Structure 1
Amino acid sequence: MVQIYTFRERLAALPATVRRRAESSSLQATVVADARAVDPGIPRDADAGHVERAARRLLRRAAQDEFAREGVARVPLPPEDIGRAELRRADVPGDARFHAFVEDVLSAVDIVPSPLERDDAVALRDARGSSDAYGLSPEVASDLASYLLCRAHVLGEGTESLEEHLAQQAEQIRGDIRAVLVRQVRVPLELKVARDRHARVQRGEVEDEFASPTGGPGDEDATAEERADFGRRARAAFEFAQTEAGRAAFGALRTGAEKAYERYGSTRTPSRNPPRKPPRP
């Protein structure tokens, strides 16, 4: 007689290592999905290092945005047509006002254990008060980076505590911010980009990198309602793609596309009446 097991009994019969591996894979997929909700550029098979680097990139970009937003006006800069050698001799990083600006940016960075859940982080990123034409504010970027670094700690396999992990990352982030701001005033091309961004925003022009189809957030003729609706639809589509139902739907689409390609993807159309082979002599 074949013994019949219930589903629970079958699970209990599995080796403990297999169960732990399945639980670990499920947890990793959930944590990566949480991180990708904030930064879709994170790979789907990301590890802790990917998420940590995404957090650092987020704050480096926020520092560059802040320099274009306020630094260009606050820091005494040399003439625009100055060359690389003259720019180095000008020694903008040695100016007290540049130091004050850097410290102001660093004071906005506070890497701490994040209380945010996924939907809270997404709402914070997309809130009207979180960004302007330049980009995210340093404070919001710091909160989002803290969220990502907490997710990275869950993915990591180290023995350090969350507080130790965040302290190490915070020290590296502050060094990254100092370095990227110094580059802004030492590399002629980067300084020119910051000046051009500041001038365009002051003139009310839309940044090129935010160009989009009609009705999108970068369309000059789009209304505020169209821009808001575009963002809502994009967020809804992305969040649906992260759910079980969304993954199942996209999986079905992919399977259907593969079958269609197998059937119709050949360059030759099969004949309905293939030629008959001649009889053997």
Structure 2
Amino acid sequence: MRPVDELRDRLHAARRRAEIAGARADVLAQARAVVPELPRDADAGHLERAARRLVRRAAQDEFAREGITRIPVPEATGRAELRRADLASDAAFHAVVEDVLSAVEIVPSPLESDDAVALRDARASSDAYGLSPEVASDLASYLLGRAFLLRDEERDLDAYLDRHERQIREDMRSALVRLVRVPLELRSARERHNRIASGLAPERAGTAHGAGTGAGTAGGAGSGASGVGAAAREALSQRARSAMDHARAEAGRAALGALRSGAGRAFERYGRGADGEDVRGGEARSAADRARDQRSGGQQSGEHRAAEQTVHDPRSD
């Protein structure tokens, strides 16, 4: 192979790698627009787990929204009472689970990035509890579609989505069963329902009741939550810009002060006045004097040796 052909092949391979890297970065940017908590170097597994968390959280929110009012929850919710009540085998609980599962359908998503963000932030997509299961299902389909693009070994999108839909449904069922078997989780769901039903503000994100992905809590503060969040983000952005401008101004003033002080010290030590007088410091003058003495001493010793050679040179005889 000629060197030119080899170079052309190497350039083509490098261009292909750059195109693949750019395409992956674009897919990740689209996914992070919906779930900002995703890391910048996320892979397909991150997107798949985010989709599962999104729908699982929506199932828990739906249970707190309606499900807990449809099952015979005992007054005392200790482990012994819940074991005797056996809510997981109650027909009413099974109806709640089936209703929640029926709202989930993982299919190829037609949404683009801005469409998915608009759906997540729409007022009809969530309430004080969180996202509805239908919206969570649509967003999960969107995320899984992006994850499929990152799976080089996958070829069949429908089979890929069917496999994840079965896993998501199993996760939802397990999460709902856990809600009626773990005392702390059941009490948390009941207190959350009572709090929101009484008109009190929902728990803020990050607490035991409001924990979840950013997409799961988007709009969860009721109507107008998206606007409030946007205003808060804008205010934070303005404060960050102001802080950056202030830091740059302070850094510029500090650098200018350092230059001025350094130039002043350099002039005091090494400079000369307008009349030509040496205004350098005594240390600099003494160093110059020593150098001049050494040069003059060297010249004198050289002349002395030359004179001695002239006097004692045998050729002079």
What TM-score, normalized to structure 1? 0.75
1:69 aligns with 2:61: no
Deviation string 1:75-120 (CA, Å, 9 cap, x unpaired) is 11122x3322332232110111111110111100000000111111
Quote the Cα distance in structure 1 between the aligned partners of 2:220 and 2:265.
56
Are the counterparts in 1 of residues 126 and 220 from structure 2 also a CA contact under 8 Å?
no
TM-superposed CA distance for 1:206, in Å, is 1.2
What is the aligned partner in structure 2 of residue 8 from structure 1?
none
TM-superposed CA distance for 1:235, in Å, is 8.1
What is the aligned partner in structure 2 of residue 134 from structure 1?
129
Are the counterparts in 2 of residues 114 and 147 from structure 1 also a CA contact under 8 Å?
yes
Quote the Cα distance in structure 2 between the aligned partners of 1:13 and 1:264.
52
What is the aligned partner in structure 2 of residue 244 from structure 1?
none
Q: Which residue identity lines up with residue 184 of structure 1 in the other structure?
A: L
Count of residue pairs the alignment pairs up: 244
What is the aligned partner in structure 1 of residue 314 from structure 2?
none
Pick the aligned partner of 1:167 from 141, 162, 165.
162
How do 1:9-28 residues align onto structure 2 when only pairs under 5 Å count? 15-28=11-24
1:230 aligns with 2:258: no
Quote the Cα distance in structure 2 between the aligned partners of 1:261 and 1:171.
57
TM-superposed CA distance for 1:236, in Å, is 8.4
Pick the aligned partner of 1:29 from 22, 25, 48.
25
Provide structure 1 residue ranges, at least 5 long, that are not aligned to the other structure.
1-10, 212-216, 241-249
Q: Which residue identity lines up with residue 50 of structure 2 in the other structure?
A: A
TM-superposed CA distance for 1:16, in Å, is 2.3
1:194 aligns with 2:189: yes
Over 3 Å counting, the alpha-carbon distance change for 1:172 and 1:189 in structure 2 is same
Q: Which residue identity lines up with residue 49 of structure 1 in the other structure?
A: G
Say which SS state the counterpart of residue 204 (structure 2) adopts: helix
Pick the aligned partner of 2:50 from 38, 49, 54.
54
Quote the Cα distance in structure 1 between the aligned partners of 2:48 and 2:265.
60
Over 3 Å counting, the alpha-carbon distance change for 1:218 and 1:162 in structure 2 is closer
Deviation string 1:48-101 (CA, Å, 9 cap, x unpaired) is 00000000000010000000001110111122x332233223211011111111
What TM-score, normalized to structure 2? 0.67
What is the aligned partner in structure 1 of residue 34 from structure 2?
38
Q: Which moved more, 1:157-166 or 1:64-73?
A: 157-166
Are the counterparts in 1 of residues 148 and 154 from structure 2 also a CA contact under 8 Å?
no
Quote the Cα distance in structure 2 between the aligned partners of 1:70 and 1:126.
22
Q: Which residue identity lines up with residue 189 of structure 2 in the other structure?
A: A
Deviation string 1:145-200 (CA, Å, 9 cap, x unpaired) is 00000000001122341111101110110110011001111111111110111001
Quote the Cα distance in structure 1 between the aligned partners of 2:226 and 2:154.
44
Are the counterparts in 2 of residues 59 and 138 from structure 1 also a CA contact under 8 Å?
yes
Quote the Cα distance in structure 2 between the aligned partners of 1:76 and 1:111.
31
TM-superposed CA distance for 1:261, in Å, is 7.6
1:116 aligns with 2:114: no
Q: Which residue identity lines up with residue 170 of structure 2 in the other structure?
A: G
Are the counterparts in 2 of residues 206 and 218 from structure 1 also a CA contact under 8 Å?
no
Q: Which has the higher helix share?
A: 2
Are the counterparts in 2 of residues 124 and 130 from structure 1 also a CA contact under 8 Å?
yes
1:125 aligns with 2:123: no
Provide structure 2 residue ranges, at least 5 long, that are not aligned to the other structure.
1-6, 207-218, 270-280, 291-317
Identity %: 57
Q: Which residue identity lines up with residue 230 of structure 1 in the other structure?
A: V
TM-superposed CA distance for 1:25, in Å, is 1.0
Deviation string 1:234-262 (CA, Å, 9 cap, x unpaired) is 7889xx9xxxxxxxxx9xx99x979x889
1:207 aligns with 2:202: yes
TM-superposed CA distance for 1:127, in Å, is 1.1
What is the aligned partner in structure 1 of residue 273 from structure 2?
none
Q: Which residue identity lines up with residue 87 of structure 1 in the other structure?
A: L
Q: Which residue identity lines up with residue 192 of structure 2 in the other structure?
A: R
Are the counterparts in 1 of residues 77 and 186 from structure 2 also a CA contact under 8 Å?
no
